[in-house]
């Protein structure tokens, strides 16, 4: 019964292990690849964010170039400047005519904060808005300038602005002067300061140097992440870095994203899915246990009834009645396949003296001990029973006379060499064994009678010995 209960526990264990194996297999070969795929697809959103930021930035820079081009190509101001160069008007007349118009242009474009006009030799004619430091004028190299060129971010007074240098030419492409346009970059800063749903940030890089980086307190990325990437080309596992070139400019727009924050929603949903699967598994196991419990109870009751009707309650061996059935079955099998069959019949020598001298409880302990020895010595296919009182029977299928003799001697020695400890003292017992072997068709009572005669012979010859008979000899 105890073994049966252990088998039931193993059944439950197999159910749990099978469920966990199923979950593990699903995770490794289904769920994990799915997570990687979802991460890859979700990572494409960074590119969409980046493309959106690039579109805004590209549009803003193109607008700056258009403003620089418009200020340099205003026909009335350019013609008046040509007249000045030809000596037809004075510098004062040029300034009086041109400065108000350029001031109006600044007023019409909030991002333009200053325009300075120069002659072909790079000499300042006039300026409106913020004043330019001399080093910026020199940096534009106005004499060699033949196109619109962005210097980039420069310190002008107490602020930083974007500076554009543009050439002014007449219809014949003769150089007639140059403009330096100063633009407020607040729009670009707004693009950079806008976070990627609080998961990352934009940055603008020129020639490997970060020129725009968000400084708001909401930024979740530190600048050293991008600096390390620019220096080594590598990014740590906690971040994702993507970039796009700004067309027509030596700028790159970067998106730096915190990986955990970016994938947080997906990972949260996937964890919920795993949790649901685990709950489903637990429910299935629980329902299986609930469904199996009545069946298991029935099996346990049947097992108990089987043991009560087929086993000896003291030794755990089969009882006399069931052994008769087992012997019938084995004899039939031996006859059908023409195989040998042996039967051992033995009892304890002077067992009545054990009960008389040590008590019946000691006698019961001796009987249990003998049952344990029998089970430890016989093969798995052998069948053992308490045949009655202190008498035992062992059926040995597929065993000839010599094999039966060997096993009988082994049993006799194992029992005689051990003593049984009882509350009344140490008890030493021996057994007398009768062996019957048949090699053809015989009836059950014949086999038992031969084994019993062999047992009687062992007793008559002094006990604690084995006597072997075969049915052909009788």
Question: 5 pLDDT band (50/70/90 cuts)?
Answer: low
- Picking from 22-36, 335-349, 460-474, which range would have the lowest pLDDT averaged per residue? 22-36
DSSP 133: P
Q: What is the pLDDT of residue 188?
A: 87
- Whether 224 has a pLDDT exceeding 90, the answer reads no
Please state, as a whole number, how many other Cβ atoms lie within 10 Å of the Cβ of residue 267: 14
- Euclidean distance between CA atoms 372 and 386, whole angstroms: 12
Cβ atoms of residues 367 and 358 within 8 Å = no
Question: 306 pLDDT band (50/70/90 cuts)?
Answer: low
| Residue labelled with tokens 């000896």 | 312
% of the chain with per-residue pLDDT over 70:
92
Mean pLDDT of 211-238: 81
Cβ atoms of residues 39 and 186 within 8 Å = no
Q: What is the pLDDT of residue 311?
A: 87
Q: From the DSSP assignment, how many helices (H) and strands (E) are in the chain?
A: 14, 16
Q: What is the pLDDT of residue 195?
A: 65
Question: 7 pLDDT band (50/70/90 cuts)?
Answer: low
Mean pLDDT of 47-73: 85
Helix extents (H) in 27-111: 32-72, 75-85, 91-108
Give the tokens for residue 385.
Answer: 């029973």
Give the tokens for residue 248.
Answer: 């027509």
Q: What is the pLDDT of residue 400?
A: 92
pLDDT tens digits for range 389-411: 999 999 999 999 999 999 999 99
Candidate ranges 196-210, 301-315, 399-413; pick with highest mean pLDDT = 399-413
Cβ atoms of residues 246 and 252 within 8 Å = yes
% of the chain with per-residue pLDDT over 90:
29
DSSP 423: T
Question: 249 pLDDT band (50/70/90 cuts)?
Answer: confident
- Euclidean distance between CA atoms 160 and 164, whole angstroms: 13
pTM, to two decimals: 0.55
Q: Which helix (H) or strand (E) holds 353?
A: helix 351-358
- Picking from 103-112, 225-234, 294-303, 386-395, which range would have the lowest pLDDT averaged per residue? 294-303
Q: What is the pLDDT of residue 473?
A: 39
**Residue-averaged pLDDT of the chain:** 85
Cβ atoms of residues 437 and 344 within 8 Å = no
Taking alpha carbons only, the member of 326, 463, 468 closest to residue 407 is 468
Q: What is the pLDDT of residue 472?
A: 65
- Whether 454 has a pLDDT exceeding 90, the answer reads yes
Q: 246: which residues sit within 8 A by CB, 6+ positions away?
A: 54, 57, 58, 61, 252, 253
Q: 229: which residues sit within 8 A by CB, 6+ positions away?
A: 235, 241, 256
- Per the model's pLDDT, the better-predicted residue between 307 and 355 turns out to be 355
pLDDT tens digits for range 404-437: 999 999 999 999 999 999 888 899 999 999 999 9
Q: What is the pLDDT of residue 218?
A: 54
pLDDT tens digits for range 272-283: 888 888 888 788
Q: What is the pLDDT of residue 394?
A: 97
- Per the model's pLDDT, the better-predicted residue between 472 and 89 turns out to be 89
- Whether 465 has a pLDDT exceeding 90, the answer reads yes
pLDDT tens digits for range 436-445: 998 866 788 9
- Euclidean distance between CA atoms 6 and 2, whole angstroms: 6
Q: Domains for the chain: give ranges and CATH numbers.
A: 74-187 (3.30.450.20), 320-471 (3.30.70.270)
pLDDT tens digits for range 371-382: 999 999 999 999
pLDDT tens digits for range 86-123: 889 898 988 889 888 888 888 888 888 899 999 888 88
């Amino acid at each position: 019964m105890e073994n049966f209960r252990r088998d039931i526990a193993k059944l439950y264990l197999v159910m749990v292990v099978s469920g966990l194996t199923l979950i593990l297999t699903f995770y490794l070969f289904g769920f994990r690849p799915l997570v990687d795929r979802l991460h890859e697809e979700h990572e494409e959103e960074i590119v969409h964010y980046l493309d959106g930021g690039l579109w805004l930035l590209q549009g803003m820079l193109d607008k700056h170039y258009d403003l620089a081009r418009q200020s340099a190509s205003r026909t009335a101001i350019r013609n008046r400047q040509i007249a000045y160069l030809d000596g037809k008007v004075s510098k004062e007349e040029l300034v009086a005519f041109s400065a108000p118009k350029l001031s109006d242009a600044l007023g019409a474009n909030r991002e333009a904060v200053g325009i300075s006009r120069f002659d072909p030799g790079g000499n300042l004619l006039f300026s409106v808005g913020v004043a330019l430091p001399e080093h910026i004028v020199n940096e534009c190299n106005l004499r060699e300038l033949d196109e619109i060129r962005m210097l980039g971010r420069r310190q002008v007074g107490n602020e930083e602005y974007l500076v554009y240098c543009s050439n002014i030419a007449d219809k014949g492409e003769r150089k007639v002067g140059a403009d330096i346009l100063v633009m407020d970059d607040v729009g670009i800063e707004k693009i950079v300061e806008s976070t990627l749903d609080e998961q990352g940030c934009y940055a603008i890089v020129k020639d490997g140097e970060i020129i725009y980086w968000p400084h708001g307190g909401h930024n979740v990325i530190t600048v050293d992440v991008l600096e390390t990437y620019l220096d080594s080309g590598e990014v740590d596992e906690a971040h994702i870095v993507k970039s796009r070139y700004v067309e027509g400019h030596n700028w790159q727009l970067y998106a730096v994203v915190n990986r955990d924050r970016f994938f947080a929603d997906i990972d949260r949903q996937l964890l919920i899915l795993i949790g649901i699967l685990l709950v489903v598994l637990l429910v299935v196991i629980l329902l299986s246990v609930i469904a199996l419990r009545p069946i298991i109870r029935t099996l346990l009751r049947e097992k108990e009834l089987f043991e009560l009707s087929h086993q000896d309650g003291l030794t755990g061996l089969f009882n006399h009645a069931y052994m008769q059935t087992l012997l019938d079955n084995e004899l039939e099998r031996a006859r059908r396949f023409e195989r040998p069959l042996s039967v051992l019949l033995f009892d304890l020598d002077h067992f009545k003296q054990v009960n008389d001298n040590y008590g019946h409880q000691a006698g019961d302990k001796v009987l249990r001990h003998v049952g344990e020895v029998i089970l430890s010595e016989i093969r798995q296919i052998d069948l053992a029973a308490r045949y009655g009182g202190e008498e035992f029977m062992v059926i040995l299928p597929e065993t000839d006379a010599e094999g039966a003799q060997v096993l009988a001697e082994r049993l006799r020695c194992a029992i005689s060499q051990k003593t049984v400890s009882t509350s009344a003292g140490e008890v030493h017992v021996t057994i007398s064994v009768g062996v019957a072997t048949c090699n053809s068709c015989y009836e059950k009572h014949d086999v038992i009678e031969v084994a019993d005669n062999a047992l009687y012979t062992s007793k008559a010859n002094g006990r604690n010995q084995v006597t072997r008979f075969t049915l052909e000899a009788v």
